Structure 1
Amino acid sequence: TSHALGVGYDAYVDNKKARSLFQFDTRSVAGKKILHADFSAYEIWSANCDKRNIELWRTGSISSSTKWSSSLSWSSKVDTVSAAKGHSSSCPDGTVEFDATAAVVYTAKAKSTTTTLGLRASESDPIAWKQFMSPKDSDSTTGRKPVLSITYVSPPTAKPSSVKMSDPNVSCSASSSPATIRDTTPRLTATPTSSDGSKAILRPNFELYAGSSTSPTSLKPSTWTASGTAGTMPTATLGQNTYHFRARTEYKYTYGGTTGYLYGPWSSYCYFKVDSKGPPKPTVTSVNNQYPECAGTTCTSSPETGSVGMTGKFTIGAGATDVRRYLTYLNGIKVEDKTYTANTASHTVTVTPDKRLTNTLRVQTYDAAGNPGETRDYLFNVARATAPVGVWKFDEGTGTTAANAQGPNHHLTVTGGSWAAEARLGKGFTSTASNGYAAAAGPIVDTTGSFAVSSWVRLNSKTQATVMQQRGTKVGGFQLYYSTAYDR
């Protein structure tokens, strides 16, 4: 309406009773923490300058059809102000302010979309009659309109994000597969958020549980941050155990000299295990006892086995259930650094001794937390490299036999081809792709173990050519050849 809004008993014009109602759209503060609310209305008439009480009520909702006879609920009186304005220059018209906090707190908590306020005064005392300016009055400027001013903060409604450990940098893990760490004072982190954005003063709260305990340790960083900024907090020194923690947002607000705190929902739990002790000294075993360990601290009295250049295998036993990494050195040079994605109780490494007599195989294991175990030195005595079983110089220059310079066995029978008067060292043998070869009566090397073959050959062209091979029953044991594809 555009006419003045009256309250009380009008004995001067219409001999009527009046109450005035104001309905505000307050859906934007639904669910908020209301710190204070002021309602102000501009009084333009009073019977005289004697102050009389004006009551502010929280009422039920209204509409254009609401009448005096309607069963409107005057739910709760929220404030009373004694005032007299608009009678004369002694009490000129002006704003009357009411504390509407209780009303807005109620509707915000109920998540109502509107807040309806009612003004009333004594309906039997003519001096209590008052009139307030309507917001539709032509003289109603911004400062004269009814205003509901609300101060509020937004309680955190979301769980904090990025709940994890920041040092060591470990993501949140489920109870079925807790992260394993060796740091006994890990730093927990979470990012609190609020719809108040940069105006919010926040920090994460943490609850840390040890093992199956239901009594948490509460952790709170001393530093407050803005919404969307991570907060971190180190734990006290933790023992060897499994732990789980969760986080929530804490909101600090201050109003009227009083500080209060709001809390958001808890996050899911993150699980981790503290393991600051490394695995025990591993065991080392030579596969098939090819290179047995030396007796004592030296290899002086131990027999020489295998030979230089003969590859052997060693099985490393972890001696623990949580080992994932195996580090191997031979004579001070790293041979292998093997990491598994799951706990692995043993690992077999292949090494080739590079010197005669004492060789030192050093192994070390690491658990899932990265803790190094004690090193294990395995000493074994290696025999000198064996003499060749066959050396063919092709110096004969004539005949059908190429003799083995290493002994009476494994002479080669020459078929086709021709003898060369000059080769790299002395004489030689020439063959072509279709004519000429030299063959032994049977196999010469044991291809089930380590062996080496070499030859000096001059190629006439870069065509695929076999230099040396040992045939088997179904497939060849080895083949030394020139490859056109690889050009070698």
Structure 2
Amino acid sequence: MGAVAVGADAAVAPATAAPASPAAEPAPPAGRAVPDTATEQGAQRAARQSGKRVEVGSMRTETRTVYATPEGSFVLEQHARPVRVRQDGRWTEVDTTLRRQADGSVAPVATAVGLRFSGGGRTPMATVARGARSLAVSWPGALPVPALDGATATYAEVLPGVDLQVTADVDGFSHVLVVKSRQAALSGRLDRLRYSLDSQGLSVRQSKGGGLQAVDPAGTEVFTAPTPLMWDTPETSGTLRAATAARPGEGPPPGSRHERMGLEVAGDTLALAPDRGMLTAPGTRYPIYLDPSVSAPRGAWTAVWRKYPNTNYLNSGDVARVGYEGQTGQTNRSFFQMNNGSAIHGKQIIRATLRTYESWSWSCGARPVELWLTSVIGNTTTWNNQPAWVAWLDTENVAKGWSTACPGGGVEFDATHAAVRAAAENWPTITLGLRAANEGDTYAWKKFHNNPVLVIEYNSPPATPAAADAWSDPGGGCVSGDARPAVGTATPKLWAKLRDGDNSVKGRFEWHRDGARIGEFLTPAASSGNAFYAGVPAGAYQDGSVIRWRVRAEDGIATSAWSPWCEIRVDTTAPEREPVVTSEQYPENAWGVGLGRAGSFTFGANGVADVTAFVYGLNDVPDTEVNASGGQAAVWLTPDEDGPNVLSVRSKDAAGKQGPIRSYVFNVRDGTGPTGHWTLDEGQGGAAADSAGDHPMTLGGAAWTDGRQAGALRFAGAGQHAATAAGIVASERNLAVSAWVRLAGTTLPDHNAAAVSQDGELHAGPWLGYRAATRSWSFKLNNSAGTSQSVWADNPAVVPRAGEWTHLTGVYDAAAKAMYLYVDGHLAAGPVPYHGGAGPAGSLRLGQAQHQGGMTDPWPGDVDDVRVWDRAVYADEIVRLVNQGSTPTGHWTLDEGTGTAAADATGRTGPLTLGGDAAWTQGWLGGALAVDGIAGHAAAGKAAVRTDQSFTVAAWVQLDTLPAADVVAVAQGGERTSAFALGYTAQGPRWGFGMITADADAPDLVMARSDAVPYTMEWTHVAGVYDAPARKLRVYVGGQFVAAAETDFHSTWNADGPLQVGRGIFAGAMMAHWPGTLDDVRTYQGALGDDDIARLAAE
């Protein structure tokens, strides 16, 4: 439904008054539907209806949740590490609890990487996998059956007096050797521990900092292990002993002595060398813990250790440590990198809070800890190479976790300044650092959980009203200075169309006199896009005054900037009155007949004696003149905007003087659907149903065939047709006709060919099809009944292509007396003047046309999805029509799990064949395809889309690494290059969707690059859209539109090579292989809209 007017007269209604709409009561909704919460606006509608916050489904990731609130804001909760993962196509909370598996192994319930531990015997101690790449670590000997306790598997007595504990983490594992006695430490069997390694798609090497790296063929880390540590048991008792007891995976407790262990990698062997001095020192307290760990690097968090100034601990399984620990002389700082993406870019930040959990403090005496904004962290972050400490954010004086007197608990820090900068400067991440305020005070030493959450409440500020969005009644459009109009009243209504990205908005109007504000009015709230108004009160202005006014939008949280100043001059003398305006079809302040339908508007002199003409403008300044007769005139106009429309009219006298402007406001309903709609999907039988009415078509020799979407009709010879029994539209009134058409063969016909036509008395009109004389698509009407005086709307520069589906739309606007032709959503011809008269409306036909009473112009080819309207349709409607016909051409769920082929659920493109080292694995929506970045891929047997028409491609993707060069998730090419590629671009790096101008080795590239930054190990939904009518490339990340190509693009070639998944063709060679995992690949012929893609991402 179109917009409604919202406002009140300031003289009689306070700012809190209920809406007083000047419009007639709008058409009631058919029913209150449950909002679609996949999109931000849908979730916000649901939040307002329920009074509770509602999650935005399409924005959920492993680390992020976004909620819409009833107040109109959004809340983003961003964790440093995953809190949920996808299993069997559904979200599940992270659960590292170990369970015994059917094959005897042990595995956690739900983690972000594949983890499997030995169930005993000589199977690998631990295997960690990401897609097709994996690393298995084996104990040098047989293992006993483990005892399971939560996330930890304990293998007792793997050596005399030594237990092995392996602990699952969300993105890796740690294992601890518990040396229980001095006798075990002195045995010599711990001097050098050798583990065997088995890697798939990886090379294992020693890192510069003394740890381990497992890298892919491009040299990018897939798994990493920091320098291993060992520590003894602290000398504590009572509550301190309980608080400091060693917990698997948490690293050295306070008071323990700790040392680094030696680590060496040679071939398929990992050797650990514990510090012999610590093992045998007289003061060592047992048990001793030897703790190497392995994780998948994300850049999520790290700590730096002053005692080990060149060691990196990125994504350690340890707790986060802060401050100075006096017993060992160790000082720590911790950092957390939050992948906020583009969700808050350009938003107003209301507040931001870092929520942490302090698990231990040195005492119950509170000590201050500081939160800072820092620069980014990575695998080179160490004490000697810390990120920059950019800005202090907050200090909290707390002590939690020492004992039952001050148990562990949450600590919240104000991070608003960091979020404000990230939103204003479009940062993809926010990195925060924690450190003690006094790093010489041992009582300031603290431990925190390593997965805090950054909570950001944000709002989309209302859009600033432009001059084109504001007008007065009377007075017309917003102008100032010498162009200001004269109005015959001192109490005009001030109007504005207001918008807000979060939907609900109010309008604040203010008016000035002689440089000072003398009044204002705040309207009630209404939906974005509505027209709002305020009435200037009586007594505020006199004859000759200038009303200077402006308006801004407010949403209860933020305000827009003010609109430009608008001015009206009060002139109640000569000419004394504005004209009278009436319309039967479009009554003032009421809902009219609808978009695309002409209406008659009558102008009257309103008692002014010498009116000779009227000057008018629809949604524009009055500049079109019509002569008056007897002080009256009538014009036919066709509104081309739904919602509020403004017809500005002024009288003109014999001397050429123009009177005050009359602003006639009326509301236009959304355009009605077609009068007739034949999908042609039956596939059998002798009739085609009219889904919009009661005008079935009877087939006369036409045959059913496959269409652009489902079914279609094929016409292969003269006389073959399909026709209704009666006419559908009157050719002297507004009308439109559209169809998907395809000419058969490879050459254009040498005769006129009518796809759609309607019989007249002797000649067809309207007529839509191919015109041989100009070798172009054409739309035709006849000038008068019974003659062949035709008017053609065509454009020889838009060349038809045989064998290809093309969308044609012909439009006639009777009020403007003009014809238009649209090809694939583009205006190809028009306005073409047409002044035809009325004639009889006969049968609507497909495949032929009437001429001199007989049938001619046979159509050689296919016709699909025919629609006819008894109104004009407009460019944006036609573009939506072209794009809403988006047809699924391929859907590969990649759930097979076995074999070498992936089925196409649509059946249109056919299966993908796996090649290289492509392998099945777990994915986003069940199964997925793991590819190695070297040769792994999957390819269809043919093209999935025509690349010279609108199309959409989408997939769930995950990167094992961030390559130094561009890599392709999905592409389709010709002989030398890919016409399009969706994937990762190293420039930034960013997600990207690009298209190539020609099938050549060095063509031009047009690309839409996201502002969202890719991260390893994070499942992301990416989609690329080529919108041919708009000539735009758009890229979507996580279901949200994030970027369009900076330049317009018109694809002039169709790549007919097979669809490629995991690679593309460039300069004649297959390259740009994807290193990671791909899932749920989809292709569509047609441009999907924002909401469609949001729904895909929400699955």
Higher RCO by CA contacts (8 Å cutoff, separation 6 or greater) = 1
TM-score where L is the length of structure 2: 0.23
Tell which structure's C-alpha radius of gyration is larger.
Answer: 1
TM-score, normalization by structure 1: 0.49
